[in-house]
Amino acid sequence: MAKKKVTDEAPKHRDNPNVMGLHSAVVEQPITQTLELNYMPYAMSVIVSRAIPEIDGFKPAHRKLLYTMYKMGLLTGARTKSANIVGQTMKLNPHGDAAIYDTMVRLSRGYGALLHPLVDSKGNFGKVYSRDMAWAASRYTEAKLDGIAAEFFRDIDQDAVDFQDNYDGTLREPCLLPTTFPNVLVSANQGIAVGMASNLCGFNLGEVCDAAVAYLKDPNADLLSILKAPDFSTGGQLLYDGAEMAGIYETGRGSFKVRAKWRYQKEGNLIEIYEIPYTTTTEAIIDKVAELIKLGKVREIADMRDETDLSGLKLTIDLKRGTDPEKLMHKLFRSTTLQDSFPCNFNILIAGTPRVMGVREILGEWTAWRIESVRRRVYFTLKKREEKLHLLKGLKKILLDIDRAIRIIRETEEDAEVIPNLMIGFGIDDVQAEFVAEIKLRNINKEYILKRVEETSLLEEEIADLKDLVNSPGRIKGVIAEELKAVKKKYAVPRRTEILYEFETAQETEAAQEAPDYPVHVFVSREGYFKKITPQSLRMSGEQKYKEGDGPSAYWETTNREELLVFTDKQQCYKARLSDFDDSKASVLGDYLPTKLGMDQGEGVAFACLAQGYAPHVLFFFQNGKVARVELSAYATQSKRKKLTGAYSDKSPLVTALVLKEDAEVAVHSTDGRCLVFHTASLAPKTTRSTQGVNVLTLKGKHTLAGAELLSQSNIGNAARFRGRTLPATGSLLRPEDKKIPDQLTME
């Protein structure tokens, strides 16, 4: 229960009425009622009206500032003092001048937080990559809207979006800005609300426009091949992990790494860092490097200084003699924010409701909203054309007898009777009569009237076209696509953030080399127990120990630096280096993989294999008779990820899997005793891990695929009898002399 203090005023002294006192009482109130009445309105206000961006890519503070600048004529006019803009914006935004100016700074070209700045600034606006560089006061700087802002206001006066009252009801402001491109994906945005947050990274404008056009044509288009990766105004290098990026595009959550760009200057023996991750600052980097030097963890640096000037960012590191710059930078990448993660949380307000969405879903919402905006714009134009046509039809009626119209006006005694008399005389309505009555005397000639009447047929054609456009979603999508292409042509710029697809070799090899390299024997049991035994220990050991009912499942001879891939019955893949496991003995059960790898509750081992340089392929055999051939490279990740989701298809239960170093013949068995032999060359390898595969074994009734093995490891006689000419095939029944359905399936 929450306690609420109620205070009443009362005389403190009965004999002195001028002396007032306070009598207070505490009233108990349910905590749920306190939250509902006091906390929830505040939380909802922060979420809906302040911190979370909407589908146009703006928070309310951004929208109010930009609309104020538009109404001030700053889209085409000269710059004005920032203080003037701040003062005018306070008519829409009551949060104070400091908050408004901070908002304008972050949208400015000088600050550099956006790929496409919305405010054309003049003066000191600070820098996004500096923590300590303060921007000048608003009275010293000037600003106007940047050219790209025209794409936010093109339809603003054509009823494309709804308007609402400002905080005191004296002005009207747009609820959203009718952006002609998905600005929500172009302009980076961050917000912290109550109980939730939003963190949107920016994407390249050209790629976003291409992706939006592709989505308009096909909602199932491969967006990852078009919208390659995020792009940042500070540049840097994005370490591309295809699986992680696909997850971000699908769910709107996840993270990726960005590292600084640098160059080595042999003359002077120094390193110059000229682009850093968007999430850090030069001061944070220098402070961390200084800390590492002080702790003795970095000894290769003689000096580090900030040489940023008007030409751009530059951090200089003086190296000691004999220092390898590559190794030093890899060490700094691991230990400082010269390599940093960007956490994605694509939380956007849709119709007042916060939703975390992937890129495809965001494009879907933006497309639906933009289609409605364009429809409203076209309908607005249609109504204007219909009003004009209505007036011209009235004018057409007086064409045959202009003199009569003049006579009616001239002979009407009272001004108020002119309109009714024209309506009666020509059979027109009051709007048409008002239009006729307002024609100037010099325009009462046949030439003028004939020209106006000629517009009638053109207007009728235009109106028919506009009506067709309003009622045709396909045509509206075409209009949106053309606008997107025009935006790309006019404003698109090359990517600033470089995408690194192959970057792990130096860093990962260095990390791998830290582990000792020696030969080992690896055993995995059917229940998921793992043992790594050295050859010496294995020679001295007796029989392998297993739990009751358990037994061997896989065995390899390899080295301590090899990687192990463990596939689970929940379509996940866990990765680990053999060096992460302690050397064991044959007389112990070994490490239980679900516990050692931190698997989810109830998750078990389905299949395990060695990475072997990620060169082999994996064949997944499913109960429904399908076989998926996936390149093992699809499980290679540039980051040190320990867990991959969607490791294989979940459409049918997995029966077994085989690792292929080279194409070979495989024998598959069904539960009705049939066997089919086929060559793996007939299966095309896929890079998509969750591929459903192709149908290989045709099953009858309720029978399923029961197992698979390499033909070379089986004892099937007369293999030609079981080979299928085409796939899928039913196979042939195994004869008693060559029938083999093993009790235990060997995994390689």
Distance between CA atoms of 492 and 445, rounded to whole angstroms?
Answer: 52
* Amino acid in the structure at residue 245: M
Tokens standing for residue 471: 């009622």
Q: 238 - beta bridge partners?
A: 258, 499
Q: Identify the burial level of 196 via C-beta atoms within 10 angstroms of its C-beta, where 0-12 means exposed, 13-18 middle and 19 or more buried.
A: middle
Give whole-number Cα distances, 287 to 176, 278, 336, 649, in Å: 42, 17, 9, 47
Distance between CA atoms of 565 and 574, rounded to whole angstroms?
Answer: 6
Distance between CA atoms of 148 and 182, rounded to whole angstroms?
Answer: 13
Distance between CA atoms of 456 and 449, rounded to whole angstroms?
Answer: 11
**How is 542-595 classified by DSSP, letter by letter?**
-SPP--TT--EEEEEEEETT-EEEEEETTSEEEEEEGGGSPP--TTS--EEHHH
Active site residue 70: no
Distance between CA atoms of 494 and 496, rounded to whole angstroms?
Answer: 6
Angle separating helix axes 359-397 and 446-470, nearest 10 degrees: 150
DSSP 230: B
Characterize the bridge pairing of strands 16-29 and 2-13: antiparallel
Catalytic residue, candidates 42, 140, 167, 518: 140
The pairs formed by 373-376 with CB atoms below 8 angstroms and a separation of 24 or more are 373/155, 373/160, 373/161, 373/178, 374/155, 374/160, 374/476, 374/479, 374/480, 375/470, 375/476, 376/158, 376/159, 376/160, 376/161
Asked if residues 465 and 458 have their Cβ atoms less than 8 Å apart, the reply is: no
**How is 454-509 classified by DSSP, letter by letter?**
HHHHHHHHHHHHHHHHHT-HHHHHHHHHHHHHHHHHHH----SSEEESS-HHHHHH
With a CB cutoff of 8 Å and minimum separation 6, the contacts of 283 are 130, 131, 132, 306
Phi and psi at residue 485, to the nearest 5°: -65, -40
Distance between CA atoms of 389 and 440, rounded to whole angstroms?
Answer: 19
Distance between CA atoms of 649 and 451, rounded to whole angstroms?
Answer: 70
CA angle (54, 55, 59) in 5-degree steps? 30
Instruction: Give the torsion through C-alpha atoms of 566, 568, 572, 575, to 10 deg.
Output: -20
Tokens standing for residue 59: 């928070």
User: Active-site positions?
Assistant: 140
